Structure 1
Amino acid sequence: MIATLAALVMQLAGAGAGAAFAADDPTITWAASPANEAGPDGRTWVELELDPGESTIDHLAVRNLGAEEITFTLAAADGYLTSTGRFNMLPSDQDSTDAGTWIDVAETVTVPPAGTEIVPFTVKVPANATPGDHAAGIAASVYSVNASETGNRLGVESRIGFRVMTRVSGELRPALNVAAISAGYDLSWNPFAPGAIDVTTELENSGNVRLEVPVSTAESGTQSGSEESGAPDPVQLLPGDRRSTIVHVSEVWPLGFAIVPVEFRPMVVEPDGGVELMAPISQDIFVWTMPWPHLLILLAGALIVCALLLGRRRQAREVERLVRDAQERGRREALANGAPVETGVPAETSA
């Protein structure tokens, strides 16, 4: 069962907008699920395989978990996957153009307290429907109105429903396109610890059937997550979907560069829940992993060594200068006292 919430905010003129929508009304709790004529049948959602022009009848169970009789609005709409891979339906103020228009269901159903009503609905595929998977949803909703702090009346439509997936027979063309791929290296704050690589990919379902796509790298074996945390693995893609995924590769030492093999293993999701493997797609991506902290440490060490060597050299030159000055002073003092001074010239000898 997929629970969705669509908020339609509007201003309602006048204070007498209906006591049934007052803030102190009892909380309404309900559930909706696929069913057969006898009641809920354990399915999470509806999977159908139909030919163009074919129709079938299925059932919806609406359970009222509250203590008062409630009239629910029933509606179908086109389905889609959010950026986190969750299924949702178009809000009621948007027109459906695909499988949501194929579903015919009663406009309302009244359910007694703690009761369940089984409602049939018809799915009729147009004769000109394109082959492949088409997503829709069907939901039971209630409408409530609350007053805001400014006194405006805010309307909220709350929906609970499930998806209806219809595969139309014909030529099925599973296809996955890796639209973009990039990677970046994150250095560790500790220069003596490895960093990590994040590989970001843009996956596009360019075929006409639903795909599941596990993404992994040889280094880590880590599978993908979505751009927003919480996406399921593998990545779910309806026909035409395009979604970003991130593969995190840990324990990567900064050795200047790294080549990361990335593998995509797309699978076609069958209506019976099985999968059909497609040919894997592999790409190698080059990543700079420059060891900047390590280079800075080496540079600092080299500067310290150079400073020490230069200091010792200056000290040696200073000592030599002091020795020369002392020798020169001694020579001048000796000359002033009339003492002979060695000039370094050897004396002549007679034969």
Structure 2
Amino acid sequence: MTRVPPHPRSRRGHRRCRAASFRRSAAAVTVDPAPTSASAAQWAVAPASSAGPDGRISLRHTIDPGSGVDDAIAVSNLGTAPATYTVAPGDGILGDSGAFDIAAGDPQESGAWITVDGLDAGTVTVAPGETRVLPVRIDVPGGATPGDHPAGIVVGVTRSSDGVAVTNRVGVRVHLQVAGDIVPALDVADVTATFTPALVPFAPGTLRVETRVENTGNVRLGALAAVSGAGVDAAALTGDPAELLPGDSATVVTETSAWPVFALFGTSTVRPVVLGDDAVTAPAVVEEGFTTPAVSWTGAAVLLLAVGAIAAAVAKRRRRRAGRAEAAADAEVPADAETPADAETPADAEASALGRVDVGAR
């Protein structure tokens, strides 16, 4: 089983836009901002042609350095009262959850290349049930580096409730790639493995492998990880891949069962995945080895008890043998014991016989 934990903040240093989070599969969404009244605004934003929303889920363009392209978004008021929306482009990042997000504040990179027309001081007022199409212009600087430069356009409403201003935002993702030398690449920065034994002695436990993956190329990629090794139940490359933007990193967690064989030696295999409609070729898999102690502590306790019982039985048997030997030694006649005074020795017997012969001769 492969899981992707919360993603760290992007190394670009942007602040996360806390009120907006946009996943790849829902770049254009309708949001109900938990209205405080029946007339509170509801709205949607989506890619559009001049006639209105056109069914795309994102703005996707590959542009040469120094060139530009025109596109559009549609803002729809689904509420029952007029609403004024703030519209602003921003740099694309990955939020703490690993989902695509748009940085708050003034854009510092690709978000600054986007201009939205048809606004009044950065806002647009839309009547209830109306959809407004806003032209979008993207101009790429001449010195822009090749590769992905993620961005997005946020549409939000700010309302006050009990003296507290609350801003709700939805947005559309901009897949922006600068033409040139495209290099997809992932690398494994670190692998950490831990083994949790089962309560049942000698039964398989749980092996948890954390693989730190870095996007060292210039286009986004997904990453899936699997583990293998002696005593390890191989975990398949399944689940949702972790998305990594250029320069980002993520920890992919893989859990599987493994036998308590005192030490596990295995391999974490990372497979790069092409996401969505990206026109790139996935690079080769990356492998990194790991080792971790794998001891069944309940099994070790059983072994210690068994060894102790065997040692006690052997000691008891030796004591019994020693006692029987001592008793047998006490029962034997000593080799140097004195002959009784009235006992006839062989010499006496011979002398008596000679004496009898002599008497007969006389």
After TM superposition, give the deviation of residue 173 of structure 1 in Å.
2.3
Equivalent of 1:146 in 127, 142, 161 = 161
Which moves more between the two structures, 273-282 or 232-241? 273-282
| Amino acid in the other structure paired with 2:143 | N
Q: Secondary structure at the match of 2:91?
A: strand
Alignment coverage as a number of residue pairs: 305
Q: 1:23 to 1:234 in 2, by over 3 A?
A: closer
Q: 1:76 to 1:40 in 2, by over 3 A?
A: same
Matches within 5 A, 1:190-201: 190-201=200-211
**Distance in 1, Cα, partners of 2:282 & 2:36:** 52
**Distance in 1, Cα, partners of 2:167 & 2:245:** 26
Equivalent of 1:102 in 98, 113, 124 = 113
**Distance in 2, Cα, partners of 1:102 & 1:73:** 18
- Matching residue of 1:179: 189
**Distance in 2, Cα, partners of 1:279 & 1:186:** 32
- Matching residue of 1:234: 241
Q: Secondary structure at the match of 1:201?
A: strand
**Does the 8 Å CA contact 2:226/2:269 hold for their aligned counterparts?**
yes
Matches within 5 A, 1:325-340: none
Is 1:213 aligned with 2:223?
A: yes
Equivalent of 1:279 in 278, 281, 284 = 284
After TM superposition, give the deviation of residue 324 of structure 1 in Å.
8.8
**Does the 8 Å CA contact 1:174/1:268 hold for their aligned counterparts?**
no
**Does the 8 Å CA contact 2:72/2:134 hold for their aligned counterparts?**
yes
After TM superposition, give the deviation of residue 6 of structure 1 in Å.
2.4
Is 1:290 aligned with 2:295?
A: yes
- Matching residue of 1:119: 134
**Distance in 2, Cα, partners of 1:275 & 1:142:** 37
**Does the 8 Å CA contact 2:198/2:296 hold for their aligned counterparts?**
no
- Matching residue of 1:12: none
Q: Secondary structure at the match of 2:151?
A: strand
Deviation per residue, 1:31-57 (Å, 9 max, x gap): 111111222222211111101121111
Equivalent of 1:62 in 75, 97, 101 = 75
After TM superposition, give the deviation of residue 221 of structure 1 in Å.
3.0
Equivalent of 2:236 in 209, 219, 222 = 222
**Distance in 1, Cα, partners of 2:328 & 2:109:** 100
**Does the 8 Å CA contact 1:267/1:275 hold for their aligned counterparts?**
no
**Distance in 2, Cα, partners of 1:279 & 1:5:** 36
- Matching residue of 2:263: 257
Is 1:53 aligned with 2:66?
A: yes
TM-score, scaled relative to structure 1: 0.77
**Distance in 2, Cα, partners of 1:171 & 1:246:** 32
Equivalent of 1:28 in 29, 41, 45 = 41
After TM superposition, give the deviation of residue 131 of structure 1 in Å.
1.0
**Does the 8 Å CA contact 2:188/2:288 hold for their aligned counterparts?**
no
- Matching residue of 2:272: 266
After TM superposition, give the deviation of residue 275 of structure 1 in Å.
4.5
- Matching residue of 2:32: none
Q: Secondary structure at the match of 1:161?
A: strand
> What are the ranges of 5 or more consecutive residues in structure 1 without an aligned counterpart?
8-21, 148-152, 225-231, 328-342
Q: Secondary structure at the match of 2:149?
A: strand
**Does the 8 Å CA contact 1:177/1:204 hold for their aligned counterparts?**
yes
After TM superposition, give the deviation of residue 318 of structure 1 in Å.
6.1
After TM superposition, give the deviation of residue 287 of structure 1 in Å.
2.5
Which moves more between the two structures, 164-173 or 259-268? 259-268
Determine which structure has more spread, i.e. the larger CA radius of gyration: 2
Is 1:81 aligned with 2:94?
A: yes
- Matching residue of 2:308: 303
After TM superposition, give the deviation of residue 274 of structure 1 in Å.
4.6
